[in-house]
Amino acid sequence: MKIIFLLLFALWSVTLIAQPGLTIYGDVGENNVSHGWYVKSAVIGNYHWKKIKIGSGLQFDRKYCWDNEFSGFKATIGREFSIKEFTFTGQAFFIYAPFSELLYQTNWGALVDVKHNHVQLSIGANKRTYAYTQKAIEEYHIPKDSAKIREHLNIMYSFSYFIKPIDNDWNVGLSVTNYDNFVINQETNPMFNLQGLYRVSEPLIVYAEAWLQISGLTNLEINYFGCYFRTGLLWQLD
């Protein structure tokens, strides 16, 4: 945790010096395991330098069934590439998400992102690990070789279509994806995101999103899992 927060502080310091971009948003939702409505908030900073982009963010649970208020850390580094007239972005990321004082998960992965007119497409993969904390290992005498569970490689995807060109001052779009900023689902558990945004001024964008979560896409019957609503601000400084 000390290493994570030192990394976050370093990235945040660079962000403050460079005055690039900052995203702040809040979520309100419910799902089959939340025991009612939950409230989350998050802040994500990023910095552009030529074709390179680095970023970091934190997520907090304001009202939830878990006993841990801090619920997510993410760090990213990406670069823009061009092959003749074809432009795309490659990104590597790390996500740390504590469930409680006893259990947490980490995600390492990479994504390729392509934007063209009204369409945005992302494809990638991640490697997830569930692990007991040091407190749980010592308190329950868990053997070190049994303290972690590593999943096989998981495919990540996102397809979005907007009614206006992507860089328009206002837009409405629909996405199907299996990941969000601090969570990555299995391939068979996609989410649908109806989103809208409006550029208030040159550096400031306000946006709102409605997310629907389902489970078991390949089952004979698709099941409802949850939904949440998000509103936020995106502050861009060039």
Instruction: Give the model confidence (pLDDT) of 97-123 as tens digits.
Output: 998 888 999 999 999 999 999 999 999
> In this predicted structure, what is the pLDDT of residue 79?
94
With tokens 């962000």, the residue in question is 15
How many Å apart are CA 104 and CA 70, to the nearest integer? 11
> In this predicted structure, what is the pLDDT of residue 157?
97
Burial (CB < 10 A; 0-12, 13-18, 19+), residue 40, is buried
> In this predicted structure, what is the pLDDT of residue 185?
93
Q: Among 173, 204, 154, 159, which residue's Cα sits nearest to residue 23?
A: 204
Cα-flanking dihedrals φ and ψ of residue 68, to 5°?
A: -115, 120
> In this predicted structure, what is the pLDDT of residue 3?
46
Task: Tell me which residues of the chain have a pLDDT lower than 50.
Answer: 2-3, 6, 10, 13-17, 65
Neighbours of 76 (CB within 10 A): 19
> In this predicted structure, what is the pLDDT of residue 18?
52
Distance in Å from the first CA to the final CA of the chain: 32
Superfamily in which the 2-236 domain is placed by CATH: monomeric porin ompg (2.40.160.40)
> In this predicted structure, what is the pLDDT of residue 17?
46
Q: 97-100: which pairs have CB atoms within 8 A and are 24 or more residues apart?
A: 97/71, 97/72, 97/73, 97/182, 97/183, 98/68, 98/70, 98/71, 98/133, 99/66, 99/68, 100/66, 100/67, 100/68
With tokens 């907090």, the residue in question is 60
Q: Dump pLDDT digits (tens) for 144-169.
A: 888 899 998 999 999 999 999 999 99
> In this predicted structure, what is the pLDDT of residue 219?
59
> In this predicted structure, what is the pLDDT of residue 83?
84
> In this predicted structure, what is the pLDDT of residue 146?
85
